[in-house]
Amino acid sequence: MSIFSLSSSPSLLLLSSSSRFSSLSSSFTIFPFKSSPSPSAFPHSLKSHTHFKAPMSWLAKLGFGNKASEIDSSSSSIPQGPDEDIPLPGHKFAQFGAGCFWGVELVFQRVPGVTKTEVGYTQGLLHNPTYNDVCSGSTKHSEVVRVQYDPKECSFETLLDVFWSKHDPTTLNRQGGDVGTQYRSGIYFYTPEQEQMAKESLEKQQKILNRNIVTEILPAKKFYRAEEYHQQYLAKGGRFGFRQSTEKGCNDPIRCYG
């Protein structure tokens, strides 16, 4: 594996995997930062923010300071519980966090054997978080893609190869211009087998890289599906209205914000 930049932003490095699926993420156009779509393009949640009203500082984005006291602790046990959703018969779930979930989802949509993808929030302290809640830096959620796959057609090892090739796992709480704890690198496992494979895969990657990998490997917790306008965002046209292909095996460059 070699490290090289495919971004107009020199701060983002993408990894090229030796896997046959590395071409899925061979080129990306990265914009400086991610922001919510305009109200005219997509509806925003009308849920009131009754749990906290904390502005997001750069320290909070980077994970410093403790905002947990601003969350209703009585509800924390719910989001910290396991993901109890059930995949289709014969299928399995996997969860990955690798920065902004829009581009990550499209990468996994293109993998043969992946039958469904959803973007959402997990690993946080707040029940039923909104996008604005997560972006506040106070809820500790991670933006993730939950992948449903057929293990007869796609192995978990293949998904791990795609995961490593999609992002830079050595940057703490950021990918390029996207900065915040919600953009952290993470593998969230559903079974002991997934846990073992994830740890072995990380050790293998660490031997290749010359910087410390900061990817967290944790049990999959309750998955909160993100607002509908986030789902298949790039396939729908993204920020600029240009639909991007979800065809299996497609290696078209991914424009991460559309």
Any idea which residues carry the catalytic annotation? 100
| Contact indicator for 9, 29 with CB cutoff of 8 Å | no
Burial 223-237 (b: 16+ CB within 10 A, else e): bbebbebbbbbbbee
**How far apart are the C-alpha atoms of 244 and 258, rounded to whole Å?**
8
Structure token pair of residue 4: 């090289």
Name which of 137, 16, 171 is nearest 186 in CA terms.
171
222: left (phi over 0), alpha (psi -120 to 50) or beta: beta
| Contact indicator for 129, 191 with CB cutoff of 8 Å | no
Radius of gyration of the chain (CA): 17
Which neighbouring-strand residues pair with 2?
16
**How far apart are the C-alpha atoms of 202 and 205, rounded to whole Å?**
5
Alpha helices in the chain (DSSP H): 58-61, 101-109, 131-135, 156-166, 192-208, 233-236
- Single-letter amino acid, residue 104: V
**How far apart are the C-alpha atoms of 255 and 103, rounded to whole Å?**
8
